[in-house]
């Protein structure tokens, strides 16, 4: 039976006052409330819910409008930033349900192509927005909004829609930290929709004299950062010609996503509010971070006995083990030297951060190596500690370097420490989960790399895992792919996924203490890029 006659649910808190005056009054109440509370965008969903709860405590008569309050608080948080964004970088999303029943317009995948026939109010709104320079989309449902928001490129969205559609798009807007203002329709039934035009016009025209500089175009920045790793530039920074140095430069120059230098520079840009021009100090710090990273890869490849990286022979395969070990050490030395000679203001602080990270990394690696020789399953807590030690420091160095160079204070550095820890763990859990989503398990699984999913399996089904591990040790290769198909593995993966989202959440929560919205926006976006949603 496919056709059913379910009833429509009506939720409390869904209501909307039906006059512009009342809406204005609520906006004023929020402004008064915000004057006494620090509200730094982007707000997390919990923060928005918290603030709307506080408002209802102050004004109990507003309880009918809980969802509307959440929307309006979020609007308030973004208002100033939106005002600093040029009109031609803003996207106006209008709902198709504005249109007349006899609308002659055609559609493309993004939405309705308004012919401005004048049957409905759309023409009027669109031509106003056009005059200002907006990009306008008239869409049905929330597909267009989702695509735009998740593209990671959109700098600002003004959205008109029903509360339902905002509930859908809000989590995405939060994830991508897109400055946005949402103007709710008076009704939720998808036809003959009306909006408070006074409010809409006010928002559309809102514009500060000065531009907001907080938007960081990560793709563009990546291009600049990559150029610092040209052979010519590296040779200049290394300033010594020798065969070993050449090997090191080649190794650094070839391939690499330059994630860490990118993160560092983005944080620097977010905190200083400028971009485009980078002096030698920043470039040297970026190269030093990459030196540490590339050195750790050389050593990792030796330890893991990997023959290939980026589809090419690893350094100890191309040359030999002693040469590779030595080139790794050389890069570590250069890394520290470059910090020392960078000309940065806070060299001592940079040295402290880099050396602590170096130590933690070795401790994490050490725990893993010692575990390898005993072959026992680790507890979840041990795994998390290894994950945190092995991965978080690399992120932390990059973030802290950017912050320190931008003269950030201790509280920003504390937030970064907390954020990096959660980010590093989330990154590793995600990586571990990816292994389990393959059709076959990679060689060395669970013998070379500790896995959270198998630890969970072992905690829940010790007998099954022991049998598995016994067969594994006896060299029964079939066990590798077999484990992927167990029902139990599925359950363990679910648990790991929950832990993943908890750590992502933790990373997001740590940001609530930041007072710089630019940095808050950047770190929110980075989290999503580094640990993407599956």
Partner 1 sequence: MSKQIFICGCEKDGKIEKESVQKLKKTLEEKNIGFTYIEDMCGTILKNPDDLESLYTAKDAVVFGCQARAMQHLVDNSGRRNEELATEYYHIDDERDELISSLESGSGEPLQIKYSDDWKPWYPVIDYERCNGCRKCLNFCLFSVYSVEDDGTVVVSASANCKDMCPACARVCPQNAIIFPKHAESPIDGGEGDGSENEKTDILEQIQNDDVYSVLSARRKNFQVSLLKKDQLQLAEEERRACCSGGEKKEEKKEEKCDCDCNCKDEAAVASCDCDCDCKEGDSNSCCC
Do residues 77 and 37 touch, judged by C-beta distance below 8 A? no
Residue among 162, 245, 264, 453 that touches partner 1 (CB under 8 A): 162
Residue among 11, 37, 127, 151 that touches partner 1 (CB under 8 A): 151
Candidate ranges 35-43, 157-165, 435-443, 452-460; the one touching partner 1 (CB under 8 A): 157-165
Alpha helices in 304-379 (DSSP H): 315-318, 321-340, 347-374
Q: How far is the CB of 528 from partner 1 (least distance, A)?
A: 15
Q: How far is the CB of 249 from partner 1 (least distance, A)?
A: 33
Q: Are strands 135-139 and 180-184 parallel, antiparallel or unpaired?
A: unpaired
Between 147 and 362, CB nearer to partner 1: 147
Q: Which residue has the tokens 């308004």?
A: 114
Torsion-angle region of 294 (φ positive above 0: left; ψ -120 to 50: alpha; else: beta): alpha
What is the torsional sign of CA 31, 35, 37, 41? Answer: positive
DSSP 215-250: ---HHHHHHHHHHTTSHHHHHHHH----HHHHHHHH
Q: How far is CA 221 from CA 275, 293, 462, 487, in A?
A: 9, 20, 49, 44
Residue among 74, 75, 79, 142 that touches partner 1 (CB under 8 A): 142
Residue among 38, 109, 277, 474 that touches partner 1 (CB under 8 A): 109
Do residues 246 and 274 touch, judged by C-beta distance below 8 A? no
Rounded distance, CA 385 to CA 270, Å?
30
Q: How far is the CB of 23 from partner 1 (least distance, A)?
A: 22
Q: Does 7 bind partner 1 (CB under 8 A)?
A: yes
Q: Does 143 bind partner 1 (CB under 8 A)?
A: yes
Q: Are strands 106-108 and 111-113 parallel, antiparallel or unpaired?
A: antiparallel
All residues at 6 or more sequence positions from 496 whose CB lies less than 8 Å from its CB, including other chains: 429, 432, 433, 452, 453, 456
Residue among 46, 115, 124, 236 that touches partner 1 (CB under 8 A): 115
Between 86 and 375, CB nearer to partner 1: 86
Rounded distance, CA 534 to CA 302, Å?
31
Neighbours of 374 (CB within 10 A): 7
Reading the block at residue 285, the tokens are 């710090």
Rounded distance, CA 264 to CA 279, Å?
14
Q: Which residue has the tokens 């890029």?
A: 529
Residue among 189, 307, 308, 467 that touches partner 1 (CB under 8 A): 189
The neighbouring-strand residues paired with 464 are: none
Q: Does 97 bind partner 1 (CB under 8 A)?
A: yes
Candidate ranges 143-151, 377-385, 465-473, 524-532; the one touching partner 1 (CB under 8 A): 143-151
Q: What are phi and psi of 210, to 5 degrees?
A: -100, 155
Candidate ranges 75-83, 109-117, 287-295, 519-527; the one touching partner 1 (CB under 8 A): 109-117
| Spatial CA neighbour of 376 closest among 260, 458, 492 | 458
Between 100 and 505, CB nearer to partner 1: 100
Q: Does 148 bind partner 1 (CB under 8 A)?
A: yes
Candidate ranges 110-118, 204-212, 440-448, 504-512; the one touching partner 1 (CB under 8 A): 110-118
Residue among 52, 74, 79, 165 that touches partner 1 (CB under 8 A): 165
Rounded distance, CA 206 to CA 196, Å?
16
Q: How far is the CB of 155 from partner 1 (least distance, A)?
A: 9
Neighbours of 47 (CB within 10 A): 21
Q: How far is the CB of 76 from partner 1 (least distance, A)?
A: 25
Q: Does 223 bind partner 1 (CB under 8 A)?
A: no
Q: How far is the CB of 291 from partner 1 (least distance, A)?
A: 33
Q: How far is the CB of 203 from partner 1 (least distance, A)?
A: 19
Q: Are strands 312-313 and 308-309 parallel, antiparallel or unpaired?
A: antiparallel
Q: How far is the CB of 3 from partner 1 (least distance, A)?
A: 5
Residue among 57, 191, 345, 494 that touches partner 1 (CB under 8 A): 191
Residue among 137, 158, 264, 519 that touches partner 1 (CB under 8 A): 137
Residue among 36, 61, 108, 381 that touches partner 1 (CB under 8 A): 108
Rounded distance, CA 60 to CA 64, Å?
9
Binding-site size for partner 1 (CB under 8 A) equals 38
Between 216 and 332, CB nearer to partner 1: 216
Residue among 15, 29, 110, 530 that touches partner 1 (CB under 8 A): 110
Q: How far is the CB of 100 from partner 1 (least distance, A)?
A: 11
Q: How far is the CB of 172 from partner 1 (least distance, A)?
A: 12
Q: Does 13 bind partner 1 (CB under 8 A)?
A: no
Rounded distance, CA 422 to CA 88, Å?
37
Q: Where along the sequence are the contacts to partner 1 (CB under 8 A)? A: 1-8, 88-89, 91, 96-97, 101, 107-110, 113, 115, 135, 137, 140-143, 147-148, 151, 153-154, 162, 164-165, 168, 189-191
């Amino acid at each position: 039976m496919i056709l059913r006659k379910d009833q429509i649910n009506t939720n409390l808190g869904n209501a909307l006052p039906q006059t512009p005056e009342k809406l204005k009054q609520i906006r004023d109440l929020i402004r008064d409330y915000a004057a006494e509370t620090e509200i730094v965008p982007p707000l997390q969903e919990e923060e928005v819910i918290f603030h709307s709860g506080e408002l209802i405590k102050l004004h109990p008569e507003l309880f009918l409008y809980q969802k509307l309050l959440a929307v309006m608080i979020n609007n308030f948080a973004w208002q100033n930033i939106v005002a600093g964004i040029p009109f031609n970088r803003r996207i106006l999303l209008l709902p198709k349900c504005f249109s007349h029943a006899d609308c002659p317009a055609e559609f493309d995948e993004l939405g309705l192509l308004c012919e401005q026939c004048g049957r409905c109010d759309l023409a009027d709104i669109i031509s106003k927005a056009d005059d200002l320079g907006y990009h306008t989309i008239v869409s049905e449902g929330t597909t267009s909004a989702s695509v735009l928001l998740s593209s990671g490129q959109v700098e600002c969205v003004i959205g008109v829609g029903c509360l339902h559609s905002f509930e859908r798009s809000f989590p995405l807007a939060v994830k991508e930290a897109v400055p946005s203002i949402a103007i709710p329709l008076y009704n939720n039934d998808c036809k003959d929709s009306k909006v408070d035009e006074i409010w809409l016009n006010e928002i559309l025209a809102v514009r500060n004299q000065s531009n907001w500089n907080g938007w960081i175009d990560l793709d563009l920045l990546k291009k600049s950062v990559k150029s610092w790793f040209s052979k010519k530039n590296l040779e200049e920074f290394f300033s010594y010609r020798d065969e070993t140095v050449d090997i090191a430069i080649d190794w650094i120059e070839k391939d690499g996503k330059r994630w860490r230098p990118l993160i560092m520079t983005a944080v620097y840009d977010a905190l200083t509010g400028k971009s485009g021009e980078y002096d030698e100090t920043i470039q040297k710090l970026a190269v030093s971070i990459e030196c540490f990273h590339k050195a750790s890869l050389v050593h990792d490849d030796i330890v893991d006995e990997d023959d290939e990286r980026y589809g090419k022979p690893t350094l100890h395969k191309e040359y030999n083990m002693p040469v590779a070990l030595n080139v790794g050490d050389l890069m570590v030395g250069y890394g520290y030297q470059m910090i020392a000679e960078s000309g940065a203001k806070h060299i001592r602080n940079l040295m402290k951060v880099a050396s602590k990270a170096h130590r933690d990394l070795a401790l994490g690696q050490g725990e893993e190596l010692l575990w390898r020789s005993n072959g026992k399953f680790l507890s979840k807590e041990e795994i998390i500690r290894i994950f945190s030690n092995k991965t978080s420091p690399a992120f932390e160095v990059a973030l802290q370097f950017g912050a320190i160079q931008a003269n950030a204070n201790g509280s920003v550095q504390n937030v970064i420490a907390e954020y990096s820890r959660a980010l590093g763990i989330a990154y590793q859990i995600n990586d571990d989960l990816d292994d389990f989503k393959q059709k076959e398990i990679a060689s060395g699984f669970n013998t070379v790399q500790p896995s959270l999913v198998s630890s969970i399996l072992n905690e829940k089904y010790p007998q099954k895992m022991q049998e598995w591990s016994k067969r594994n040790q006896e060299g029964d290769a079939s066990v590798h792919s077999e484990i992927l198909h167990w029902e139990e593995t599925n359950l363990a993966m679910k648990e790991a996924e929950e832990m993943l989202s908890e750590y992502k959440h933790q990373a997001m929560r740590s940001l609530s203490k930041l007072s710089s919205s630019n940095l808050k926006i950047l770190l929110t976006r980075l989290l999503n890029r580094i640990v993407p949603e599956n």
